[in-house]
Amino acid sequence: DIQMTQSPSSLSASVGDRVTITCRASQSISSYLNWYQQKPGKAPKLLIYAASSLQSGVPSRFSGSGSGTDFTLTISSLQPEDFATYYCQQSYSTPVFTFGPGTKVDIK
C-alpha cells in the first residue's frame, strides 16, 4: 500500500505570508497527486489535481509542484479565508486512494 505523509502537521502564519506544505509518498506516484482544502464543519474542496493543475475557480495564489515521491502545495500570499486544513491524496493506485494526514494552517 502507498502511504502518504505531510509536513508540517500544523503551522501558524500571518496574512500575506508565503506558505509551503510538503507531501511525500512511500513510493513513486508520478504526478498522481491531488490537494484538498477543508474548513471546519465543511466538506473538502479540490484545489490542485495531477500535482500542478489548478481546479477551476481556485485562486491563482494556490500552486502545486512535484513528481515522483515529493510534492509541494504553495500559497503565495495567505488570505484570511485560507486558514484551513490541507490534505494531499494519491491516485496512482486508483481505484484505491490514500490521503495524507493533513496540515492545519492557523493564524499566528
Partner 1 sequence: EVQLVESGGGLVQPGGSLRLSCAASGFTFSSYEMNWVRQAPGKGLEWVSYISSSGSTIYYADSVKGRFTISRDNAKNSLYLQMNSLRAEDTAVYYCARCWGLLRYYFDYWGQGTLVTVSS
What are the φ and ψ backbone dihedral angles of 102, each rounded to 5 degrees?
Answer: 100, 150
One-letter amino acid identity for 39? K
Which stretches of the chain bind partner 1, using CB under 8 A? 31-32, 34, 36, 38, 42-46, 49-50, 55, 87, 89, 91, 94-102
CB 2 within 8 A of CB 90: yes
Identify which of residues 19 and 36 has a Cβ nearer to partner 1 in the complex: 36
Identify which of residues 83 and 99 has a Cβ nearer to partner 1 in the complex: 99
Identify which of residues 32 and 62 has a Cβ nearer to partner 1 in the complex: 32
